[in-house]
Structure 1
Amino acid sequence: MDPGEGVRKDAVVADRTSPDEELMRALYEEHAGPLLAFVIRLVAGDRQRAEDVVQETLLRAWRNADQLRRATGSARPWLVTVARRIVIDGHRSRQARPQEVDPAPLELVPAADEIDRALRLMTISDALGDLTDAHREALIETYFKGRTVNEAALELGVPAGTIRSRVFYALRSMKLSLEERGVTA
């Protein structure tokens, strides 16, 4: 490759650089360091947040490149004002939102224990097994299937008064049976 050929390519690339790119490069080289130092003080030493603010400031400068080109004097006052406003807006938006909560403490809270529920159901099932067939049927129809006394009476083919009596004695027997198993109501 001819050395002169490479120079010509570089010259073509340099010619393609837009005025906005040149302005941004100059702004960054001249103002990024002091702007970062200023913003770090505004955000109480949070470097990552400060870098984000500087980046947003330079992005806004790029969007307003025409305005900056027309301005006389240094662009630093404009950049400092924009950076300060970005920090203030960030502070205000954090005040408006509820504080985020760290989920780590939630991991220490015990989840609902399905073992206790399963044991409770097994105990109830055992207590139901201690009942007479007539009492168990009346209790299952009214409490577990959610039927009224009259509906349970029709289903079982007995008078409603009999269902009420069987449910009363079934509940009393269940209570005693569960107490014997260590379950209290």
Structure 2
Amino acid sequence: MVGWTRKRANADEALIRGLYEEHGRALLAYATRLLRDRAAAEDVVQETLVRAWRNPDVLVNGKGSVRAWLLTVTRNLVTDRYRARAARPHEVAEQPQSPPVQSDHAEGVVNSMMVAEALDQLSPGHRDVLREVYLNGRTAAEAAAVLGVPTGTVKSRSHHALRALRQTFRNERPALRGVTG
């Protein structure tokens, strides 16, 4: 039994090799023309030969041309590909159902109020320097010209004002941790 199976496998392999050598180029050209994609055409030709291997009696029964049968199988496989694509919706990038969560407006209001209170605790000179540098976007030299003070004074006041603000927020943070909303 093993000998018969091996002979059958060798005969099938020889049949498929012969089909490919004789009809492979024509099948590939036909499939490429239909699909306009060489890689997809190669897949279709391979599937055509698999179908031929599964139905060897169709190829040797003497009814009709072998090439005609192979070309018909190729055309049917191409048609199946087009139908399958048409049946499936086109793939699109997934979009979230809702926009990403943005920070709470109330949190921004509270932060603004905290900054305003902290700025009120600074001396007018420190507050003016921070306003010119950070709120108005001026350089130290530009802020110095507007405020009528030396550039070094602007740098020094800016440094000390920021340090005071940091200290203020550090002191308030523990109190905020205990607050629940």
TM-score (norm 2): 0.49
TM-score (norm 1): 0.48
